Amino acid sequence: MAKPSDFPDGFAHYPLYFSPAEQETLIAEVRTATETAPFFQPRMPRTGTPLSVVMSNFGPLGWVTDKEGGYRYEAQHPKTGAPWPPLPDILTKLWQDVTDWPDLPEACLINWYKDGAKMGMHVDRDELAVNAPVVSVSLGDPAMFRIGGPQRGGKTQGVKLLSGDVVVLAKEARRCYHGISKVDYGQSALVPKGGRINLTMRRVNL
């Protein structure tokens, strides 16, 4: 059994940070946003292999990836060309509550995990603000979040994330490999079409 102290410095988990009513508010915000900024299929740089999640964004910048352009931030939706919907107040308040970063996040990635989707081990490193914390919210089905060290392939630890949970990666944890190894699909009725939604807020520019 891993002790919390075994997690990298700067890792924080806030179980059930959001109440069921707040989770409904967040899902309604996602539904409204994705009416104008529909989920798109992200693809790996160079190979064009699809990721298993679909994505959208809130905020002045959105994280996108495709075969030709690779991982990057863009101010417009890749399909509609329209600006991303604004970051909801409830997420700005979360950022201000769990970080002491002086600037607000510019990007909030919306990841939708349908049946069988997962996320490979990665480090969030497409931001100029490499030292700003990253804050994420889990909604819907439970998932196993794994976090290791700064080198790919090292020992990892798992934390089960439930709907309403918040995770912060700051300091050393900001540079550690992490991913979603499994989603327990069909356990929650929160997401109307099923699955898990993860919202990840990031500061991009210094």
Please list, residue by residue across 18-46, b when 16 or more beta carbons sit within 10 angstroms of its beta carbon and e when fewer do. Answer: beeeebeebbebbeebbeebebbebbeee
Choose the contact partner of 136 out of ligand MD6, Fe ion, none; CB within 5 to 8 A by kind.
Answer: ligand MD6
| Contact residues for ligand MD6, defined by CB under 6 A | 111, 119, 124, 134, 136, 145, 167, 169, 178, 180, 198, 200
Stretch that binds Fe ion, among 33-41, 44-52, 110-118, 124-132 (CB under 5 A): 124-132
The contact mask relative to Fe ion for 69-108 (x = CB under 5 A, - = no) is: ----------------------------------------
User: Which residue number, 9 or 89, has a Cβ lying nearer to Fe ion?
Assistant: 9
User: Which residue number, 49 or 80, has a Cβ lying nearer to ligand MD6?
Assistant: 49
User: Which residue number, 43 or 136, has a Cβ lying nearer to ligand MD6?
Assistant: 136
Cα 130 to Cα 127: distance, rounded to the nearest angstrom:
6
User: Which residue number, 37 or 109, has a Cβ lying nearer to ligand MD6?
Assistant: 109
By CB under 5 A, what part of segment 142-161 binds Fe ion? none
Of 187, 183, 189, residue with least CA distance to 117:
183
Binding site for Fe ion (CB under 5 A): 124
